Structure 1
Amino acid sequence: MPRSRTHTPNGTRTRWRLGLTATALLTATAVVPAPVNAAADDATDYSITVDPKSTGAKIDDTMYGVFFEDINRAADGGLYAELVQNRSFEYSTADNGSYTPLTSWATQGSGTAKVVNDGGRLNERNRNYLRVDLDGTDAGTGVVNSGYNTGIRVEKGKKYDFSVWARTDSADGTPLTVSLASSDGTTLAPSLELTARGDKWAKYTGTLTAVTDSTAGRLAVTAHGSGTARLDMISLFPRDTYKGRPNGLRKDLAEKIAALHPGFLRFPGGCLVNTGSMEGYDEASGWQRKRSYQWKDTIGPVEQRATNANFWGYNQSYGLGYYEYFQFAEDIGAMPLPVVPALVTGCGQNKATDDDALLKRHIQDTLDLIEFANGPVTSEWGKKRAEMGHPRPFHLTHIGVGNEENLPNEFFARFKQFRAAIEAKYPDITVVSNSGPDDSGSTFDTAWKLNREANVDMVDEHYYNSPQWFLQNNDRYDSYDRNGPKVFLGEYASWGNAFKNALAEAAYMTGLERNADVVKLASYAPLLANEDYVQWSPDMIWFNNHASWGSANYEVQKLFMNNVGDRVVPSTATTTPSVTAPISGAVGLSTWATTAAYDDVKVTGEDGTTLLSDDFSGDASKWTHTGGGSWSIQDGQYVQTDVAAENTMVSAGDTSWHDYDLQVKATKKSGKEGFLVAFGVKDTGNYYWWNLGGWNNTQSAVEQAVDGGKSTLISKAGSIETGRTYDIHVKVRGRQVTLYLDGQEWGSFTDDKPAEPFRQVVTRDAKTGDLIVKVVNAQAADARTSIDLGGAKVASKAAVTTLKAAPDAVNSETATPVAPVTSTFDGVADTFTYTFPGNSVTFLRIKSG
């Protein structure tokens, strides 16, 4: 995951080129006859030419997969089916300011119940426990857990497995009453009666059967009698997990993932992999500060697994650990693809660990991981896998080292040591490198240079961009070296879960398939989001404690992933001319988590005419405040003083301005980042800005906002000094922009690529012989299209699957406006006409004749 939701890494633009081979030519379009399948008065004419005699790229079965990271409560409270939150009382204020060891718990009864951490603990990795001092009254003393979201969800007639670890100093034992009730006191299941005996920890289990439905359940555990009882690892699991596995996965979420038929499962992150301390869990002190995700913490009996403060702001139990990830991948027929830390932090931390002993330990941990996955039961770690219930190997073939490191040289020095050790012992394992958090820029370029020079097998790319970027960059991989490292597109998404976002991603996916000889793996990200615990959006699957639903993006991914085909059939289609209208718009000033001062703003036309001049010696009446923050005139400068505010845009001028020079003096006064100077400002969601000292003051970039979604046009590493005044000059000429910092040219770009609305790719399914014509029409007008199959012998009838909706349509718990519709089309011929609806994704499966 990139370091900042708001400052997303994005990329430069390159011109789109259709076709797979050097001989594939762009076809011009003539007006075609009226469509066979529909009348379309508001239609644009296109053509598609298929060349079935040429051979396109082979598409691997693992082409599309899923990326799981524990973000947005994706694991605890999500895919991991445990219904009790903070089951081992390990939440801590040190990890989250709002947490205590009794978060999500309430005490009840006449005795006392408190969390303690002493020598009586369950084990060294499960240090906190609940001490219950009983007073002998009938009411007893205990705790009540409220679960996640609105509470614990139960369904009438279903069974729920309860367990608790307990000990007691009462010679007669301590009776325990386990009950389920709703938040209003309604009984949800008959109570369960257990008795804890002995002053040594032991596990006690039972089953509750729900007598009614509820989404607001509360689990109560009450101890009776006298003396002291100790409780830990209080758990409630639905019996009906995915594949019926104990300690298993929430069924509806796992089924939605399985329905994608993913070719691989990448886990456990993401920023979880390489952020926080690289040290292991300290058995002596039991510290619980944020640690990078380390697989040995997550296997074995759940009560012996370490907990961790999640990078995304909450604690994770590791009940869903490496064994469960491997098992889930196997259950859904996906290739497991774990990612391990390379001792260079990412996600904005940008630190490299120089402890050689620690590096060697992590390398050995990685070798041990491969043995855990693939080793025989006679090996040390293969035996541990077998003891957990899986004597057969998991058939691990790929492993990623590192994630989004923004220090490419430091990362690569360590990566080479990992790769050398892995290749020496396991030469058949593909070791995956990465190219940092951006799809372009100095880090990206340096990382790719190092990867190419070292002949790395595969490079993981990540980027989150606006829909326009995806529509403009379908050709991204056309020019990649066919003999160089292969690409794993491990994280990508446009900014949103509306259908217009999914359309742009679908258009981009046609380019991924066309370049399947270079792009070997691809996964949308992130996978899951609990609607009440969102740190990141967009996400593929949304849920709460009782329901789940696929986003519009999910429906697109599912359509592509279930209709991949085995080989590309080269095809060409009509394209859109380059953009020629000049960049136009007003100018603006802004800050992001920074206070800054601006002075001497001047905008002059190409002919030298002064369009705007403001030295802020008077008031700020020329400026319109459209963002947040607090702006005022101070000592002849325009100053934004709210250090916490993000996007504090003020703008001035005319939206029709074009071909002008913008000059301004800017000074950072305090805060995390630098300052932003905008041009081509149309409104609050459409503009360009030069972001100086962004990404926690690690790089500068020009970003373009289109309908609120940002893309990066050019970026460079660098920071902004506090207290220093910078001279900024932006020169706009037509579609070209040149930027000067303190009189020196900083960079330039030309933004003339069209956001191409019509994209296509054709593949063949080797098993069925079907020709699969995949067309995205990301515009309001229908696309009346002449399709030439190049003499392919085909049946006259095609199976059609269509996704069509309004651009702003969003799937939710209660409505699914974006859903596939199937039909047939009985007009296929060597050359035929089909009208693809506006704002649609259409797959035609055409059988061989």
Structure 2
Amino acid sequence: MAAPTRADAPTADPAAEPADYSLTVSPDRAGPAIDRTMYGVFFEDINNAADGGLYAELVQNRSFEFSTVDNRSYTPLTGWQQTATGGATGTVQVVNDTERLNERNRNHLRLGLAGTGGAGAGFGVVNSGYGAGMALREGARYDFSVWARTDSATGTRLTAELRTTDGTTVSAPLAVTVRGDRWTKYTGTLTAKVSTTGGRLAVTAEGGGTVRLDMVSLFPRDTYKGRANGLRKDLAEKIAALKPGFVRFPGGCLVNTGSHQAYEAPDFERRRSYQWKDTIGPVEQRAVNANFWGYHQSYGLGYYEYFQFAEDVGAMPLPVVPALVTGCGENKATDDPALLRRHIQDTLDLIEFANGPVTSTWGRKRAEMGHPKPFGLTHLGVGNEENLPDQFFARFTEFRKAIKATYPDITVVSNSGPDDAGTTFDRAWQLNREARVDMVDEHYYNSPQWFLENNDRYDSYDRQGPKVFLGEYASRDNRFSNALSEAAFMTGLERNADIVKLASYAPLLADVRQNQWRPDMIWFDNQRSWGSTSYEVQKLFMNNTGDRVVPSRASTTPAISGPITGAVGLSTWATSAAYDDVRVTAADGSTLLAEDFSAGDFRWTRATGRGTWSVQDGAYVQSDAAAEDTLVTAGDTGWHDYDLRVKATKKSGKEGFLVAFGVRDSGNHYWWNLGGWGNTRSAVEKTVGGGKETITENGTTIQTGRTYDLHVQVRGRQVTLFLDGQKWGGFTDDKAAEPFRQVVTRDKGDLVVKVVNAQATPARTRIDLGTSKVAPTARMTTLQGAPDAVHTADEQPVQPRESTLRGIARNFTYTFPAHSVTFLRIKAG
């Protein structure tokens, strides 16, 4: 416990003059109730979060099913190398023949043993695990298993042992004798003699003949809750420490992308949407799949394990099933009535698997897996981020009708597409409102600026309409400034707890060596794990939510006004395009820039260094159709109140072209993105600190080879855009990014005053609690740090600091530090 702090003691940098604020609490008024399940976690197998992550299996490619369908660099022997001792020789081959383990586990390893070498000589394979290797701990036990068969009449001696990267053996050998040419599972335990992060598992066979191996597995005995086929303990414990109210799984884009067909042997090498029946039962009988994010999924972590994990952490399970309309850039609708009926029945079977009695078909399967008691499923999502709202909603309606007919108490969750606004969002919400849907899943990833500007987002939502499940949100980076903006936004979520019933930051987990997305809440390597600054914010809010909002109000920060200022720019994204006749004129008609590229491109700076830019045939051409974010800029960052005109022509590629204005640098600008998102729509995006947000959009697409006239008019904070002489759209960017935010909740009699000060200035705040019936001291928790602080494996500088604040009364003053989140827990009443 830190030393007590006086309520009026300065806590900020004395060099920074505090700004004055007021905060008034109204404890005699009742705000909305907060559900225990409001804050939860969202797990998706992105960033290698499952295999090699939360799923504790240490062997990579344990069933030799890796394929170029998963990743172009993969082979069936990815993760494996040949090994031999005592002069033994032989052959290693991955085969798919009639001797396979089963129809879903088709590949297996065939060792041809030459019978060479002396007594005890062995030939086989060694597995390197994930990343740098297997993290082994001295004295820890590891459960080994393998399915094997042999054509040797006398049996084949199989030896498993732990090694280091240089081949040194670091465990006593485990020997089993494989007997018979029929698949049999063999098990045993290995104990590590040393600690290492570069561990290996070697499996060798003695003698001659042929031995076949499959499902070679090594699990730490010390999994979370000691579960067999369990979870990596440190990762699961960090998630459990959040005290999540729900667990949403298994995705995300993982859910609804790829083929919606059922698993069939001829379709083995294809990517299918995530279908829950593939993921239950004995692990050796589960399907595998090509992960949407570019790697392999074993489904060892499946629906049963997700349900069990939710139960273990005291959370509500919230699965999401595909709606037969793909999202995440694919944007296709499946028109197959039989396939739709099959998926609807699969969803009804899923509910029975979760909730049905052991006498039911799927309840019996749950019981056979070790859980006769129902899991208590109450919420289920259908679909994820579909960009075709009408097609999605037609299919969602069929799912909802069937679910409600059989299970009327299940809350069926719809969604509103991939963004916080726009035509898809508006149409989806219209359909959801008209159909009186229970709950709508919103997703958005935006800049810190957006989160500071949109604290009041849910203040104006219809109190009689569908409730909101904020299933995915985060600001785009992992710095403490991102976490502060998220904290400021979360005060608005709590204030609107009657509308926002569920909320989960995303993504949850990321392998520091292999990842597809940033930001993330928890990072890990093969040995260590650490929470990001956003993890600390989420944990603080999730552990101190309270059960009811107490109305309160605070003064605001004086707005800093001024026109949009900045240079101009040209860009492409996975497209080749040509630009010509760039002209920038001031509001008074004077010319700021006139560029026909006849003199070359010396006026232009390559802001991102990407792409291949050159003057060709009198135009400025970016010719690399694969390069992304190829921004070049010209002009003065002090320009304001101007007109930008340019001719643009798409030459080839996936998208259209981008014209930038208000450019301060490569991470701070606006751009008009025409033909973006695979040439499916167009928008104006604002980038602040490297994080993007969409300001306005429509469905404009771009034709290859056609020249377009673009005109951007900037006047103060007002922007108007013209395409081929016709008004395309416009916006006024005058929303205040308020850095001082607060909310007050009641938690079992305590008042919890939550204040975010996301600015460099301390906030000297006069607080009126609205009652004198308060204890004279308060428990105070503070998160404070440099705005650019980022947590790494070796350094996590932003940690909660606990202290006691004295001098609490109805009216008192406290100076909230710059760049801080502060929770005051006050005994009241």
For normalisation by structure 2, the TM-score amounts to 0.97
Cα deviation, 1:316-346, whole Å, max 9, x if unaligned, reads 1000000000000000000000000000001
2:820 matches 1:847: no
Cα deviation, 1:769-800, whole Å, max 9, x if unaligned, reads 11000000001111100000112511010000
TM-fit CA distance, 1:577: 4.1
Equivalent residue number for residue 33 of structure 2: 58
Equivalent residue number for residue 81 of structure 2: 106
Equivalent residue number for residue 278 of structure 1: 260
TM-fit CA distance, 1:657: 1.1
Q: For the residues of structure 2 that align with 1:94 and 1:707, how far apart are their CA atoms? A: 37
Equivalent residue number for residue 467 of structure 1: 448
2:113 matches 1:131: no
**Aligned to 1:446, which of 400, 403, 427?**
427
TM-fit CA distance, 1:187: 2.2
Q: For the residues of structure 1 that align with 2:375 and 2:611, how far apart are their CA atoms? A: 53
Equivalent residue number for residue 345 of structure 1: 326
Equivalent residue number for residue 255 of structure 1: 237
Give yes or no for contact 2:745–2:751 (8 Å, CA) kept in 1. Answer: yes
Q: For the residues of structure 1 that align with 2:432 and 2:801, how far apart are their CA atoms? A: 44
What amino acid sits opposite 1:169 in the alignment? Answer: D
Q: For the residues of structure 1 that align with 2:772 and 2:273, how far apart are their CA atoms? A: 54
What amino acid sits opposite 1:437 in the alignment? Answer: P
- Which runs of structure 2 are paired with 1:531-610 in the superposition (5 Å)? 531-610=512-591
Equivalent residue number for residue 750 of structure 2: 770
TM-fit CA distance, 1:576: 2.8
Cα deviation, 1:46-101, whole Å, max 9, x if unaligned, reads 11011111111110000000000001110000000000000000001233110100
Q: For the residues of structure 2 that align with 1:36 and 1:707, how far apart are their CA atoms? A: 33
Equivalent residue number for residue 71 of structure 2: 96
Give yes or no for contact 1:576–1:754 (8 Å, CA) kept in 2. Answer: no
2:30 matches 1:84: no
Cα deviation, 1:201-231, whole Å, max 9, x if unaligned, reads 0000000011110110110100111111110
**Aligned to 2:417, which of 418, 436, 448?**
436
Give yes or no for contact 2:645–2:709 (8 Å, CA) kept in 1. Answer: yes
Give yes or no for contact 2:650–2:656 (8 Å, CA) kept in 1. Answer: yes
Equivalent residue number for residue 762 of structure 2: 782
Give SS of 1:188's match: coil
Equivalent residue number for residue 24 of structure 2: 49
Q: For the residues of structure 2 that align with 1:666 and 1:163, how far apart are their CA atoms? A: 61
What amino acid sits opposite 1:453 in the alignment? Answer: E
- Which runs of structure 2 are paired with 1:153-552 in the superposition (5 Å)? 153-283=135-265, 285-552=266-533
Q: For the residues of structure 1 that align with 2:226 and 2:618, how far apart are their CA atoms? A: 70
**Aligned to 2:810, which of 815, 830, 842?**
830
2:655 matches 1:673: yes
Q: For the residues of structure 2 that align with 1:214 and 1:658, how far apart are their CA atoms? A: 59
Give yes or no for contact 1:148–1:545 (8 Å, CA) kept in 2. Answer: yes
Cα deviation, 1:462-493, whole Å, max 9, x if unaligned, reads 00000010001000000000110000000000
2:780 matches 1:807: no
Percentage of pairs with the same residue? 74
What amino acid sits opposite 1:111 in the alignment? Answer: G
Give yes or no for contact 1:578–1:753 (8 Å, CA) kept in 2. Answer: no
Equivalent residue number for residue 15 of structure 1: none
Equivalent residue number for residue 14 of structure 1: none
Q: For the residues of structure 2 that align with 1:34 and 1:314, how far apart are their CA atoms? A: 54
Equivalent residue number for residue 634 of structure 1: 616
> Structure 1 residues 47, 757: CA separation in 2 closer, same or farther (over 3 Å shift)?
same
Equivalent residue number for residue 8 of structure 2: 35
Q: For the residues of structure 1 that align with 2:299 and 2:104, how far apart are their CA atoms? A: 12
Q: For the residues of structure 2 that align with 1:660 and 1:157, how far apart are their CA atoms? A: 70
Cα deviation, 1:122-155, whole Å, max 9, x if unaligned, reads 0000000001111112433211000001101110
Cα deviation, 1:396-423, whole Å, max 9, x if unaligned, reads 0000000000000000000000000000
Cα deviation, 1:513-560, whole Å, max 9, x if unaligned, reads 000000000000000001111111110000001000000000000000
TM-fit CA distance, 1:717: 2.1
TM-fit CA distance, 1:289: 1.0
Equivalent residue number for residue 11 of structure 1: none
Give SS of 2:397's match: helix
> Structure 1 residues 153, 737: CA separation in 2 closer, same or farther (over 3 Å shift)?
same
**Aligned to 1:716, which of 681, 693, 698?**
698
TM-fit CA distance, 1:707: 1.6
> Structure 1 residues 257, 425: CA separation in 2 closer, same or farther (over 3 Å shift)?
same
2:821 matches 1:821: no
Give yes or no for contact 2:757–2:763 (8 Å, CA) kept in 1. Answer: yes
Q: For the residues of structure 2 that align with 1:34 and 1:622, how far apart are their CA atoms? A: 57
Please, which moves more after superposition, 607-616 or 454-463? 607-616
Give SS of 1:459's match: strand
Please, which moves more after superposition, 216-225 or 646-655? 646-655
Cα deviation, 1:579-602, whole Å, max 9, x if unaligned, reads 530111111111111110011111
Cα deviation, 1:28-47, whole Å, max 9, x if unaligned, reads xxxxx993464756211111
Cα deviation, 1:162-199, whole Å, max 9, x if unaligned, reads 00000111111110010111002232211101111011
**Aligned to 2:101, which of 104, 122, 142?**
122
Give SS of 1:187's match: coil
TM-fit CA distance, 1:112: 0.6
What amino acid sits opposite 2:629 in the alignment? Answer: N
Q: For the residues of structure 2 that align with 1:483 and 1:577, how far apart are their CA atoms? A: 34
For normalisation by structure 1, the TM-score amounts to 0.95
Give yes or no for contact 1:577–1:754 (8 Å, CA) kept in 2. Answer: no
Equivalent residue number for residue 3 of structure 2: none
Please, which moves more after superposition, 650-659 or 264-273? 650-659
Equivalent residue number for residue 713 of structure 2: 731
Q: For the residues of structure 1 that align with 2:70 and 2:274, how far apart are their CA atoms? A: 15
* Residues paired across the two proteins, number: 814
What amino acid sits opposite 1:512 in the alignment? Answer: L
